[in-house]
């Protein structure tokens, strides 16, 4: 790949061996690939002894001609990277240093496989994202959030009961009394939504899973909606008036009286580089149950 540039995105809160970082840089430098990394990773890269081969940039000012990114970390690192890369349409590949790693393509011992990207030996897995528009009482847009996993309406750090109406494509589905609600993509169905009792969806689906959090009704069940559906949360009430909307558990907005939340498919997508032939079901089996030998 002539003129290729790679962006290394390193979660500095993870324990990532310096020799792994050095080996990774060597893979690309030997193929004369331009290597960039964020300033926040400067220390760990300098400890690897290979910093002279890396150009350091800020998160808000990396080159437009980055071909792809390599993310060292867990699922949280990949989700955070998605929020940066989706706006530049830059694909990424994850190397897992976390506990689960649904989104990561490789484990640390397999980083030599990254050389295949330079030969074009890979596929792209395009994942749907969600936008959440927070609208004021007069209808003006106060803030827009974008998420790969989920948009969550909750009552903040203290568990106070919420009441809200949920509309889908203009049709009122029901009033919920719950600790909140999760609107998850198929990618996010194995994250917070799963913990709250939601179903597991194949990530290739264009769908939104609406999962109430600790609902105060036996009739409140998760619902899987078409990915093109427009979901609206209205008449939001909480005794303590501390209601928040968060995107991927990262960026949050506190709601005021009369605010509504409109959730819909984003025009942005996350592009994941795939090197392995194993599909979603095999990954799911391995992540949920571990190797078959451990089941006996």
Nearest CA to 10 out of 53, 69, 50 is that of 69
Is residue 13 classed as helix, strand or coil in its secondary structure?
A: coil
Distance between CA atoms of residues 184 and 40, nearest Å: 30
pLDDT digits (tens, 9 = 90+) for 163-208: 999 999 999 999 999 999 999 999 999 999 999 999 999 999 999 9
**To 10 degrees, the CA torsion angle through 247, 92, 126, 78?**
-30
Active site residues: 75
CB 203 within 8 A of CB 279: no
Domains of the chain: 5-122+275-295 (3.40.50.10330), 129-268 (2.60.200.30)
Distance between CA atoms of residues 216 and 214, nearest Å: 7
pLDDT digits (tens, 9 = 90+) for 122-139: 999 999 999 999 999 888
pLDDT digits (tens, 9 = 90+) for 7-29: 999 998 888 889 999 999 999 99
Q: How confident is the model at residue 3 (pLDDT cuts 50, 70, 90)?
A: confident
Length of the chain: 296
Task: Find the farthest-apart pair of alpha carbons in the chain and give their distance in angstroms, rounded.
Answer: 61
Q: What is the pLDDT of residue 293?
A: 37
Tokens encoding 232: 């609206």
Tokens encoding 174: 């029901």
pLDDT digits (tens, 9 = 90+) for 237-282: 876 668 999 999 987 899 988 999 999 999 999 999 999 766 677 7
Nearest CA to 242 out of 255, 251, 233 is that of 255
Using a 10 angstrom Cβ sphere, with 0-12 exposed, 13-18 middle and 19 or more buried, the burial of residue 98 is middle
Per-residue buried b or exposed e for 181-207, using 16+ beta carbons within 10 Å of the residue's own CB: bbbbbbbbbbbbbbebebbebebebeb
Q: Mean pLDDT of all residues in the chain?
A: 90
Distance between CA atoms of residues 185 and 127, nearest Å: 9
Q: How confident is the model at residue 40 (pLDDT cuts 50, 70, 90)?
A: very high
If one counts every other C-beta atom within 10 angstroms of the C-beta of residue 24, the result is 25
Is residue 157 classed as helix, strand or coil in its secondary structure?
A: coil
| 55-73 mean pLDDT | 92
Q: What is the pLDDT of residue 59?
A: 87
């Amino acid at each position: 790949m002539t003129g290729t540039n790679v962006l290394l995105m390193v979660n500095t809160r993870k324990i990532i061996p310096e020799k792994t970082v050095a080996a990774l840089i060597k893979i690309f430098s030997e193929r004369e690939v331009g290597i960039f990394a964020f300033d926040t990773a400067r220390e760990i890269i300098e400890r690897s002894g290979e910093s002279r081969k890396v150009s350091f940039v800020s998160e808000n000012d990396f080159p437009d001609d980055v071909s792809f990114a390599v993310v060292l970390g867990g699922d949280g690192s990949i989700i955070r990277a998605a929020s940066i890369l989706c706006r530049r349409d830059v694909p990424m590949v994850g190397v897992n240093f976390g506990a689960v790693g649904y989104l990561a393509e490789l484990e640390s011992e397999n980083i030599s496989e990254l050389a295949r990207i330079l030969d074009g030996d890979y596929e792209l897995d395009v994942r749907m994202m969600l936008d959440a528009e927070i609208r004021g009482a007069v209808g003006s847009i106060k803030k827009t959030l974008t998420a790969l996993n989920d948009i969550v309406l909750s009552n903040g750090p203290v568990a106070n009961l919420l009441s809200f109406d949920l509309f889908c494509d203009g049709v009122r589905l029901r009033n919920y009394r719950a600790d909140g609600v999760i609107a998850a993509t198929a990618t996010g169905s194995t994250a917070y939504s799963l913990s709250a009792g939601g179903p597991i969806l194949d990530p290739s689906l264009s769908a939104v899973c609406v999962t109430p959090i600790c609902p105060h009704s036996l009739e409140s069940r998760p619902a899987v909606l078409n990915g093109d559906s427009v979901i609206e949360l209205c008449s939001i009430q909480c005794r303590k008036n501390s209601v928040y909307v968060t995107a991927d558990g990262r960026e949050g907005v506190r709601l005021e009286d009369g605010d509504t939340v409109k959730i819909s498919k984003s025009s942005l997508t996350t592009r994941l580089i795939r090197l392995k032939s194993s599909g979603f079901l095999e990954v799911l089996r391995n992540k949920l149950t571990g190797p078959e030998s451990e089941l006996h």
